[in-house]
Amino acid sequence: MLFLAGSAILLSACETGPENGADGAVIVIGERSVYRENINESFERYRGDTLSVDVFKDNIIARELFIAHAVELGLDSDREVVRLTHERYREILQGEWISVVLDQVELSDEAVRDFWEKMGTGVSYTCFYHEDSLLVDSVLAMVRAGEHLSRFTAELGMDDVIRQTNGRITLDERCFCNVMDFEHLIAAEAGDIIDPFPVPLGWRMLQIDSIWTYTTEPFESDSQRIASMLLARSRESRKIFLEDSLKTAYNVQVNLDVLNLIAANADDQGVMFGIFQPEEENLVVVSWNGGSRTLFSVTENILGLPGYLPRYTDDIKWLDDYAIRLALFDIEMQEAILLGLDTIPQIAHRLDGKHWEAVLDKYYEMVISVRIVSDSASINDVYLDIRDNYPVQESRVFNVLYLENTDRMEAAEAMMISGNDVLAAIDQFETFPPILAEGEETITIPLQRPMIPEKDRDALFNLIPGEEAVIILSDSTGLWFRLDKINEERTALFDDIRERVVAEANQRFETEVIEALVDSLSAVYHPYVDEEYFKEFYIPVEADSVSSTDSSLEVI
């Protein structure tokens, strides 16, 4: 989005301020001002580049005009903007508070040496994790009866990463295991089965596969690594302790009736939600001393989770844990405010910038994007305008077979030398699907030169139709190629560059809409711009001028 271009510092530089041009304001639009001391450094990067200076200045003006218009439209108080602003404030302040409290954690030299003295043992073990305690008990019984835990991890495990490795964890030093497993591994022996123990969101059990000893590195060479790990572990323990303390101190309470309503409205996959009634959206899901989260807030937060994170919207326990986690995040934000972290200038500027980012995103959605209208004729004009810039490169189509071992490589080479048709003996060879055209057994997709490994490009692109070559993949495998046809470079058809055309068309239409909006809003808000300030950046710094002159004299 063009109006968001520019450095983040410029968002924080715009505040309510003085009348036109007073107290260092170089742009004033409505009640917001941009101050020279906050943008000098950014514009210095473009000094001497008049075009870039003007473009950067115009981007600031455009953004400030859009903010003024957005405020007039009431978008700064839009429910979704308010929610997103809260979440972004919370992320910043929560992170700052955690940094402050964890920076207070210290580590003694004695703790590092004591840890080093306990080192010298490696371990390989299998873990299993599940939220259902009854299922975990059943697995434990079967493992005690002789089944290996890896089977259940692969078939039933809740953790995708653990499941992919069948639960196997191998550590050169068992003291470096995660905090959850640490106390259970210290006294463990090969063959031990560690009974299920509670972890966040479920239960975990271990089966010790093997244990070995080794000679440790000298303390002096290993102390830094140990100290880093112990500090991280101590900080994590401190964080968990503080979180538990805060939940108790703030009396976090979850409304199970509302959680049941949320779960009942989840889709069949337990990922999305149906439509809630307006009165339902305002129901309180979780509350604490000084705050609460509504159904709207909790469900929208869940829907905004990155796609790679798991979500179980039909699971009461998962919803309960998630609601409590959100409450804790807000409480940590409250703690940051109590410490005055939100008043620190650098943090305050970041918070202000996050708010206006949310407002501008909503403005783009509600005002700009709806005006970007493309039609087939306009898109075709863009295609005709840019197609010569994106020609379809020359490509080649081959017959290909996979030579899976030395015997098959020698057989293919013998056929080529004797003049026999390798393709006629296809039943003796394997196909190679990675480069085959859809529905084909031996015909490749059109291969352009950059698509072929550099070491093999000349060998394949120097062939003429009907010629053959064997490309070595390893000591015992290879690929047999026969050039079928050559596709000469050509002008791109619309379908060849559809995505490029649509992207370019949208960019042009967006630019036209933004420029028209800037013109119309300028007539309404009459921005004040200190042009003399910006013209100062048209001139290169004196040192550059001297350097340039000296250089030319040396050439003479």
Q: Give the per-residue SS3 of 274-325.
A: CCCCHHHHCCEEEEECCEEEEHHHHHHHHHCCCCCCCCCCCCHHHHHHHHHH
Instruction: Strand 528-529: give its sheet, edge to edge.
Output: 14-16, 32-35, 25-29, 528-529
| CB neighbours of residue 154 within 10 Å | 15
C-alpha 496/C-alpha 491 separation (Å) is 9
Going by pLDDT thresholds of 50, 70 and 90, the confidence category of residue 22 is low
Q: Tokens 């009974």 map to which residue?
A: 195
Say whether pLDDT at 548 is over 80: no
Residue 476: phi and psi, rounded to 5, are -125, 5
Q: What is the pLDDT of residues 280-337, one digit of tens each?
A: 999 999 999 999 999 999 999 999 888 878 788 999 989 999 999 999 999 999 999 9
How many degrees, rounded to 5, is the angle at CA 503 between CA 499 and CA 507?
A: 170
C-alpha 183/C-alpha 237 separation (Å) is 13
State the DSSP H helix or E strand holding residue 403, giving kind and residue range, or none if neither: strand 395-403
Helices 36-44, 50-73: crossing angle, 10 deg rounding: 140
Going by pLDDT thresholds of 50, 70 and 90, the confidence category of residue 369 is very high
C-alpha 65/C-alpha 28 separation (Å) is 10
Q: What is the pLDDT of residues 97-142, one digit of tens each?
A: 999 999 888 888 888 998 898 899 999 999 999 988 899 999 999 9
Using CA atoms in the order 436, 437, 442, 443, what is the torsion angle rounded to 10 degrees? -120
What mean pLDDT do residues 209-220 have? 91
Distance of CA 423 to the CA centre of its chain: 47
Under a CB-based contact definition with an 8 Å cutoff, are residues 507 and 16 in contact?
no
Rg for the chain, CA atoms, rounded: 33
Say whether pLDDT at 143 is over 70: yes
Q: Tokens 């409205």 map to which residue?
A: 265
| Cα–Cα distance list, 38 to 19, 59, 533 (Å) | 18, 16, 13
Nearest to 127 by CA among 118, 115, 140: 140
CATH annotation of 120-215: 3.10.50.40
Say whether pLDDT at 14 is over 80: no
The fold of the 395-487 domain, in CATH, is Chitinase A; domain 3 (3.10.50)
- Assigned token pair, 501: 């055309």
Going by pLDDT thresholds of 50, 70 and 90, the confidence category of residue 532 is very high
Share of the chain above pLDDT 70, in %: 93
Say whether pLDDT at 151 is over 70: yes
| Cα–Cα distance list, 277 to 77, 254, 280, 287, 304 (Å) | 21, 20, 5, 21, 20
Beta carbons within 8 Å of 449's beta carbon, 6+ residues apart: 393, 394, 457, 461
What's the confidence (pLDDT) of residue 183? 87
How many degrees, rounded to 5, is the angle at CA 399 between CA 393 and CA 405?
A: 120
* DSSP 8-state symbol, 443: B
- Return left, alpha or beta for 120; rule: phi > 0 is left, psi -120 to 50 is alpha, else beta: left
How many degrees, rounded to 5, is the angle at CA 195 between CA 191 and CA 200?
A: 125
Residue 108: phi and psi, rounded to 5, are -90, 155
- Assigned token pair, 393: 């490169």
State the DSSP H helix or E strand holding residue 396, giving kind and residue range, or none if neither: strand 395-403
What mean pLDDT do residues 5-10 have? 41
Instruction: Indicate the pTM of the whole model.
Output: 0.70
Report domain extents, the chain. 2-73+526-538, 120-215, 250-339, 395-487
What mean pLDDT do residues 9-34 have? 66
Q: What is the pLDDT of residues 23-33, one digit of tens each?
A: 779 999 988 99
DSSP 146-167: T--HHHHHHHH-S-HHHHHTTT
